[in-house]
Amino acid sequence: MVRCPRPRPNPAAPRRDLRKVRVHVQRLRGGGGGGGRGLGDQLPRLEGPTPGGLSRRARFRLHFPQLALRRRLGQLSCMSKPALKLRSWPLTVLYYLLPLGALRPLSRVGWRPVSRVALYKSVPTRLLSRAWGRLNQVELPHWLRRPVYSLYIWTFGVNMKEAAVEDLHHYRNLSEFFRRKLKPQARPVCGLHSVISPSDGKILNFGQVKNCEVEQVKGVTYSLESFLGPRTPSEDLPFPPATPHSSFRSQLVTREGNELYHCVIYLAPGDYHCFHSPTDWTVSHRRHFPGSLMSVNPGMARWIKELFCHNERVVLTGDWKHGFFSLTAVGATNVGSIRIYFDRDLHTNSPRYSKGSYNDFSFVTHANKEGIPMRKGEHLGEFNLGSTIVLIFEAPKDFNFRLQAGQKIRFGEALGSL
């Protein structure tokens, strides 16, 4: 019996791992022309243990979802801005709505949520406000008016004893109820002070304009030029001639020794929605800024910088006995309708106007070379729901406000005097 010796392994010959060959074959099959294979056919079959204690199959399953997310997020970065915003919205909304940390694994693969401010700015507030305006015009059944209006009165604390018509069945729709008139004796106009409050509301801020910036709430400012818009020759205002190095504030102050003052009044949904002339002055120019219709409540004003410059607004400018005077009605969510009684050409929250532009109209004509005279306390315009009034005016240095930040004020009460 002859025994054949076993062949000794040749150290020079390369050793081939059958598992690696098997993985290589599976990858080639998965990447071939057969488009009908699923992801499961492309996964390599790894069986051997690793030094970390997990099998290679388990490690691959842990890493594969992150690789897939990275690939999908890489596709998002190549999309156009509208498509990218549309694809990232659902994840961002879930990120802020779900419990803390629920979507934290997404941050490990490079995804970052859109900021709350950017997310809120992207909401179509103009379209929603137009839809709300259409809803307000729908006539309510007679039996439904009292329950609906009573709920609104209870929610926002409306005092119907001041209304000219207290019967709730008199108001055919929500729009008429929002724009209800008051009894004549409900708001006496103060005759001792030169400037009165043009509306009911809450004082957010007041004082001198410094460094061409105005405070919308304490610690949050916006640019005066961005808010009022650039000066144009067509405004027909008594401005001094502009120089290349002059500040915007110096272009508004017409008399030496005067200062520029401002006052911000927030109208809550339960307040009286009409606004009146705060003093005796002449309106010579109107500028309409189409824009967003974000909420203007004090909390939102602290959150979004230059909120009043982003929102739609109507700027009325003119002069009073001490120089420049302006009143700006700022729109808000569901308050796209800003009405000025003597301006029939004004149409706010209209689809034909685009954001970032403005439209000028002069009340100074050949027939009327002075403009529109307004008496103190005279009806000027109205909002739908609630919004903000911003006064910016010129006055001597000894002008004093008789206010406190955060106080409630009613139309006709004194704002300040000399």
Listed in sequence order, the residues at least 6 apart from 121 whose beta carbon sits closer than 8 Å to its beta carbon are 292, 294, 304, 310
**Which residue bears the tokens 């009043």?**
308
Q: Which residue has the tokens 């006064």?
A: 391
- 330 DSSP β-pair partners: 313, 388
Q: What letter would DSSP give residue 268? A: P
What are the b/e assignments for 394-410, b being 16+ CB within 10 Å? bbeeebebebeeeeebb
Please identify which of the residues 262, 273, 276, 322 carries the catalytic annotation: 276
Strands (E), 238-366: 258-266, 274-276, 281-289, 313-320, 323-330, 339-340, 359-362
Q: Would you list the domain boundaries of the chain?
A: 116-179, 195-231+248-417
List for the chain the helix, strand, coil content (%; round to 5): 30, 25, 45
Q: How many CB atoms lie within 10 A of CB 206?
A: 19
Residues 344 and 361: their CA atoms lie apart, in Å, by: 11
Provide the residue-wise pLDDT of the chain in tens; the chain has 418 residues: 445 555 555 555 555 444 444 444 444 444 444 444 444 444 444 444 544 555 555 554 444 444 454 445 444 444 445 444 444 556 555 555 555 455 555 555 455 555 566 666 667 777 777 777 788 888 999 999 999 999 999 998 899 999 999 999 999 988 888 888 899 888 999 888 889 999 999 998 898 888 788 776 656 777 888 888 887 655 555 444 444 445 777 788 888 889 999 999 988 888 888 999 999 999 999 999 987 777 777 777 777 777 778 888 899 999 999 999 999 998 877 655 788 999 988 888 776 666 667 889 999 887 888 889 999 999 999 887 668 899 999 999 989 998 888 899 999 999 988 7
Q: Whole-angstrom Cα distance, residue 414 to residue 96?
A: 44
Record the pTM. Answer: 0.70
Question: Which residue out of 88, 197, 199, 200 is catalytically annotated?
Answer: 200
**Is 167 a known active-site residue?**
no
Residue 387 bears catalytic tag: yes
262 is catalytic: no
Contacts of 98 (CB under 8 A, 6+ apart): none
Helix, coil or strand: residue 271: coil
